Amino acid sequence: SAVGRGPEVPFRSEAYRISALARGKELRLTLGALDPDAAPALDLVFRFGMSGSFRLCPAAELPRHAHLRFFTRESPPRVLCFVDPRRFGSWRLGDAWQEERGPCVVSEYRAFRENVLMNLDDRAFDKPICEALLNQKYFNGIGNYLRAEILYRLKIPPFEKARTVLEALKDQKQERRKKDPSLTLSKKVKLMQKNLDLLELCHTVPMEVITAEKEHLDPEHSQNYATFKNWLQCYLVPGMSSLRDRNGRTIWFHVGAWGQKPQKMPRKKRAQLKAEPEELTPKAKSRALKRGRRAAATPPKSDEKEEGKEEDDRPKKGRARRRRRVSPTPALPEPEVLLNAKRSHQMSTRSGRGEAGSP
């Protein structure tokens, strides 16, 4: 479309097939001609942003904000659209995934888990766990609603330091093996399913949505989210608390699930909750009393004014006012009589030593 921000797609073919592959929060479409000699295959990698999605609908009912369109040759024709009302989504030519995105939490779970546990010394894990979960370098595929659901199920405080939460996973795995070394494989699987850790839930919770996609979202009625809302346990659920993290994203959580309030709050929230000023300490009180005594002991300035000069009674501002108040009264110049007396005294001493004085 004219308002689409993505590049032009230089693909021309009378008949072609579209295949797709997902990795984390990215989707790669491959356009392949049915006749291999007609046109070479072309790849497009999509990022969905906040509101991007694909929709298949009749060409006569083309939705608004359909930024890329693939028309069929049916009668009546249909169109596969990339719809993005907020235009945060994008696509680029080529088959390369973004370099800064780590292994997918769904399709590359083993690599994802290893990537996290082997890099816990990274500064990314100095942040609260709720912020670290949105870092696509380590949690590629986890979004805002998924992080809320994962932390809620494990009763993990969202503002706990990420490294503290994740380092405990290494010790938990070792303890499981030591306690029951003779367990059969089936019993081990059941035990793991009952005691899933945070990284395992990063895989299983998205899989719940994927496997029950038809139940959560009806393609023919895409605006009906009732089933999906019933699946949610924390995100947007009435009775849950919410705060904005330092990235401006809203985190949903339940304080009663972990028994303490968040350790860090946004600056705006802190400004609203500022307490009233405290009473002066004994040291501050004594200083204030000394200042008052000094002010009382200072004699008032004379009201005499020189002729021909007018002074402004308004208080001076800034540094000049402070300097005038603190600086001592300037000394009067010495009269000429005193200077002449000094000179005569010096001349008399010289004459006493036998030196001739000048007239």
Residues 71 and 172 in one domain: no
Q: Domain total for the chain?
A: 2
**Looking at 61, 93, 125, which one is the last position of a domain?**
93
pLDDT at 259: 54
Range of the domain at 87: 16-93
Query: Is residue 269 situated within a structural domain?
Result: no
Query: Is residue 231 situated within a structural domain?
Result: yes
Per-residue pLDDT tens over the stretch 284-310:
556 666 676 666 666 655 444 444 444
Residues 83 and 171 in one domain: no
81-99 burial, b at 16+ Cβ within 10 Å, e below that, comes to bbbbeebebbbeeeeeeee
Residues 134 and 208 in one domain: yes
Per-residue pLDDT tens over the stretch 316-359:
555 555 555 545 555 554 444 444 444 544 544 444 444 444 43
**Which pTM was predicted?**
0.64
pLDDT at 35: 87
How are strands ordered across the β-sheet holding 66-71?
Answer: 53-58, 78-83, 66-71
Q: How far apart are CA 102 and CA 109, in angstroms?
A: 11
Residue 30 sits in a domain whose CATH number is 3.20.190.10
Residues 126 and 223 in one domain: yes
| Region of residue 158 (left: phi > 0; alpha: psi -120 to 50; beta: else) | alpha
Q: How far apart are CA 253 and CA 151, in angstroms?
A: 8
Residues 144 and 202 in one domain: yes
Residues 130 and 85 in one domain: no
Query: Is residue 313 situated within a structural domain?
Result: no
Q: How far apart are CA 194 and CA 174, in angstroms?
A: 17
Residue 129 sits in a domain whose CATH number is 1.10.8.50
Residues 184 and 76 in one domain: no
Residues 69 and 140 in one domain: no
Which of the residues in the chain have pLDDT under 70? 171-195, 213-224, 257-290, 292-359
